[in-house]
Structure 1
């Protein structure tokens, strides 16, 4: 069937605008003004984005199945103790789905690329909040349960989520409503200082992760003696932490393609490995949450902060609303820009020059 469909052609780095360039990826680029149909068809051909899309799209359905299983088999709507797990699992569905959609449709235009990744960043920051909510409910070591830090933990995580989304969006376009003309694109942070832009994004996502994991790091690495919650779940936490650190390393370093530009354009580049490690880390994190929830349930119900709408569902809904507001504020200047100005900057593929840029 697919043999009867004409698949979109792919291009080299010198044939597409700079905003679409990926570090050390030389070939496999899609047309910078692809139609939605071309973007969907590209899922079934090998480009430098194909595995980025599938490595997040398929796990979405796995996590969705887990949500349905928990809701139906554990009657979550009747048991508030399960609410944090459901919220966490929903964020585990949202962030890979948003990522796969962003990678699929990001080549429709320059403005579409920015807006797609705004949603990707918002989904990732929401996942960090889901992690904080479930950690607060099940992971805190016994000696920290109901402490002042525990009581402040979720509100601070809500603030971190908002900051994370705002800083990540800022790293692409600067402050919203300061770009009144599409010609100012050359002054956007990502175009003017791509390394600094990447640094901002690393910090934006590393900070909430490190904060969220303070109770876990203390529990598995520093705590000694009574009240440390040293149980058989900790091996799952170790696996999750190792994969999370590997995920961050791959995102920040662009290895292995940086060592051999052009050799990993289609299979094996850092973003694909980043996706795979991230999903595996989330899987181990989920298994650890489920195990802690079951193992510690009776003790936590007696000693921990009571679970309520405000510190679980309410906090998540608040962040959804605020994140969407931030994304809209950053997207409006792009959506209001005249189409002809975008086309002037977002030209189609050019004839490739003899020199191939490694894009370090």
Structure 2
């Protein structure tokens, strides 16, 4: 069937606008004005985005299966202790799906590319909040349970979600003029919430000594998740191996593909460790920890979804305004068109 369909052609880095460029990737680019049909057809040909898409699209179904398993096997409607796990698993389904959709449709136009990744960033921030909610419910070391930090931990995580979604979306504005600054902002937007969320975990597995340190079978899973998380961050920030040999990893083996794979495996071990803690510590936590309510689980997540969608809407409106201003500027100064082509929303 696919042999009868003409697949879209691919281009080199010199044939696409700057906003589509990737460090160390020379070829395999799709047309910067692809139709939705072309974007979907590109799933079945080898481009520099193909494995980026599939390495997140397929795991979405795995996490969805895990979510449905929890819903069917546990009394989630009456057992509020399972609500943090539900929020986390929903976020685990959303972030790879949003990423795969962003990579699929990001070549419809420069404006579409920005909007696609706005949703991707919002989904990652929601995943960070989902992690914080499960950590608060199941992972906090015994010593810190019911502490002042524990009581305000979710509140701070909600604020972090809003700040980091905003920062990540804003990072696309100076991307062409200040690419290093843009990458720095985006890295901070992803790294800061992870480090904050994981602070209780880091204390538990690396620093805590003596009694009340929550040393159980989940700790080895936590160690594996942390190691993979830092490997994921390393790949995202260094652009290795393609930076060492530009053009050699255009289609298979570049850092973003490895970043996706390591990130998914890290999330898997995170899910396993959280579930282990939930089962092992259930009776103690129900007796000693903060009560799990709608407000500090599902309510917090839904609030952040609404706020993140509002942030995405505002940045999308800025795109439209910027495009209109750019059109007026180019109409008045035709010579400036080449200078602005490919940046922000042009």
Task: Tell me which of the two structures has the higher relative contact order, counting C-alpha pairs closer than 8 angstroms and 6 or more residues apart.
Answer: 1
Alpha-carbon distance, 1:341 to partner: 3.8
Alpha-carbon distance, 1:339 to partner: 11
Give the distance between the partners of 1:346 and 1:302, measured in 2 at CA.
61
Determine the structure 2 residue equivalent to 1:72.
Answer: 72
TM-score, normalised by the number of residues in structure 1: 0.90
Pairing 1:260–2:245 present: yes
Contact 1:134 1:289 in 2 (8 A): yes
Trace 1:204-283 onto structure 2 (pairs within 5 A): 204-283=189-268
Determine the structure 2 residue equivalent to 1:98.
Answer: 98
Trace 1:171-210 onto structure 2 (pairs within 5 A): 171-173=171-173, 189-210=174-195
Trace 1:26-41 onto structure 2 (pairs within 5 A): 26-41=26-41
Trace 1:1-360 onto structure 2 (pairs within 5 A): 1-173=1-173, 189-336=174-321, 337-338=323-324, 341=327
Alpha-carbon distance, 1:338 to partner: 4.7
Contact 1:169 1:327 in 2 (8 A): yes
Describe the superposition over 1:296-338 as per-residue Cα deviations: whole angstroms up to 9, x where unpaired. 0000000000000111111101100110010000001223545
Structure 1 stretches of 5 or more lacking a match? 174-188, 348-360
RMSD between aligned residues: 1.5
Alpha-carbon distance, 1:110 to partner: 0.4
| Secondary structure, counterpart of 1:76 in structure 2 | coil
Contact 1:110 1:346 in 2 (8 A): no
| Secondary structure, counterpart of 1:28 in structure 2 | strand
Alpha-carbon distance, 1:77 to partner: 1.3
Describe the superposition over 1:121-161 as per-residue Cα deviations: whole angstroms up to 9, x where unpaired. 00001100000000000000001000000001000000001
Give the distance between the partners of 1:341 and 1:282, measured in 2 at CA.
43
| Secondary structure, counterpart of 2:295 in structure 1 | coil
Describe the superposition over 1:156-210 as per-residue Cα deviations: whole angstroms up to 9, x where unpaired. 000001010000111112xxxxxxxxxxxxxxx1111001100110011100000
Alpha-carbon distance, 1:346 to partner: 5.7
Tell me whether 332-341 or 267-276 shows the greater mean CA deviation: 332-341
Alpha-carbon distance, 1:340 to partner: 9.7
Give the distance between the partners of 2:237 and 2:178, measured in 1 at CA.
16
| Secondary structure, counterpart of 1:78 in structure 2 | coil
Alpha-carbon distance, 1:100 to partner: 0.3
Give the distance between the partners of 2:48 and 2:217, measured in 1 at CA.
40
Give the distance between the partners of 2:224 and 2:125, measured in 1 at CA.
22
Count of aligned residue pairs for this structure pair = 332
Describe the superposition over 1:98-123 as per-residue Cα deviations: whole angstroms up to 9, x where unpaired. 00000000000000000000000000
| Secondary structure, counterpart of 1:77 in structure 2 | coil
Give the distance between the partners of 1:59 and 1:75, measured in 2 at CA.
25
Give the distance between the partners of 1:18 and 1:141, measured in 2 at CA.
47
Distance change (3 Å), C-alpha of 1:93 and 1:339: farther
Determine the structure 1 residue equivalent to 2:334.
Answer: none
Alpha-carbon distance, 1:78 to partner: 1.3
Describe the superposition over 1:27-59 as per-residue Cα deviations: whole angstroms up to 9, x where unpaired. 000000000000000000000000000000000
Contact 1:109 1:346 in 2 (8 A): no
Contact 1:157 1:208 in 2 (8 A): yes
| Secondary structure, counterpart of 1:190 in structure 2 | coil
